[in-house]
Amino acid sequence: MAAVLALLLASPLLATVWNRSKAMVQLPKGTGRVEVANASYAARDWSVALKALEIKEVSRPVGGTVTVVWVFHYTNTDKEPHYAALSVQCLDPRRVERARFDTKVTLEANRPDGGTVEVSAKLQQDTWAGSFFARVVIDFLSTKEG
């Protein structure tokens, strides 16, 4: 009986995440773009995917902090928007975590040719300078709130 109750209580939590994808990329600092592999979710009639990542440093260091804009390129062939929770870990050359941020994004409808989502993050300058890789965990959600 306790196992059935635990399953019933956990089911609504599990039902909100449609799919989880993980990607490891080398950070494209400066100019450039890096492809993101294996970050998609598809149904019979539509698909949604994160395709690439660009990074822009938009401010000079102030008080040891730099603002970095992460530009995620995506496609969405559905006529409805889709939602994703992103967890990004900045890693050093040995792939040890130096910083982390989490955010939720909306992947707009009818973007088979692609769209972008920008996420701004404030990072410590020395932490950012020592980051060479990013581990991105993407949870495709069933609702905006997840």
- Domain-embedded: residue 41: yes
CATH code of the domain in which 34 resides: 2.60.210.10
Contact status, residue 76 vs residue 112, Cβ threshold 8 Å: yes
In a domain, 69, yes or no: yes
Domain with 116, as residue range(s), is 16-141
Contact 19, 85 (CB under 8 A): no
Mean pLDDT, range 4-31, rounded to an integer: 66
Q: Does the pLDDT of residue 13 top 70, yes or no?
A: no
3 in a structural domain: no
Q: Determine, yes or no, domain membership for 4.
A: no
Contacts of 96 (CB under 8 A, 6+ apart): none
pLDDT band at 93 (very low <50, low <70, confident <90, very high): very high
Number of folded domains that form the chain: 1
**Whole-angstrom distance, CA of residue 85 vs CA of residue 55:** 18
Q: Whole-model pTM?
A: 0.84
Q: Does residue 61 lie within any of the structural domains?
A: yes
- Convert the pLDDT of each residue in 97-114 to its tens digit: 999 999 999 999 999 999
In a domain, 7, yes or no: no
The per-residue pLDDT for 30 is: 74
**Residue 17 pLDDT class (50, 70, 90 cuts):** low
What is the average per-residue pLDDT within 54-58? 85
Residue 5 lies in a domain: no
Average pLDDT, the chain: 86
- Read off the pLDDT band of 146 (50, 70, 90): low
Whether the per-residue pLDDT at 64 is higher than 50: the answer is yes
Beta-carbon neighbour count of residue 64 at 10 Å? 10
Element (H, E) at 3: helix 2-15
Q: Can you give the pLDDT at residue 63?
A: 85
Do the domain assignments include residue 64? yes
Give the model's pLDDT for residue 77. Answer: 97
